[in-house]
Amino acid sequence: MGRNAELLDRLFKALERLDLGAVAELCANDCIYEDVPYPEATVVGPAAIRAKLELGFAGLERLPTEIHELLEDHDTVLVERTEVWHHATGERAKLRVAAVFKFRGAKLTLWRDYWDAKTLLDQQPAAWLPQIPRLAPTTSIPSE
């Protein structure tokens, strides 16, 4: 396992515990976090990333992740994973995600998740659905 894959392992362990402060600490000040199904929900920077995760994961007890595939090439890591959303009310939602992560030094600079919104939304408890409009803190992203 390469250095960046080890950093991602720390990120996924922090996500499982819902330690969003630890997740934010792994992000560079200019880190871009993009959920491809909702480009308007893209955020930049550790504080915005933490706030977005806090909204999306509200009501969860934990978020275990199983890595299926991982490919590391220099500063880029591609990952296929399954997240299991454990709601405090007992419901579970499974989501398959493909992602691109980029690093600079020991910090994450890009986190781009590709997933199917319908698959996730169809599994969520009704109490979680009112959160959807608030999942999109607006932040502009720099042109690539």
Q: Calculate mean pLDDT across residues 31-58.
A: 94
Q: In terms of pLDDT, which residue wins out, 17 or 121?
A: 17
pLDDT band per the 50, 70, 90 thresholds, residue 132:
low
Strand partners, 100: 78, 112
Complete domains list, the chain, with CATH: 3-135 (3.10.450.50)
Phi, psi of 8 (to 5 degrees): -65, -35
What pLDDT, on the 0 to 100 scale, is given for residue 79? Answer: 98
Residues 6+ apart with CB under 8 A from 73: none
Which pLDDT score is estimated for 129? 54
**Residue 56 binned pLDDT confidence (cut-offs 50, 70, 90):** confident
107-114 vs 65-73, strand pairing mode: unpaired
Percent of the chain beyond pLDDT 70?
A: 88
Render pLDDT for 96-125 as a digit per residue (tens, 0 to 9): 999 999 999 999 999 999 998 888 878 887
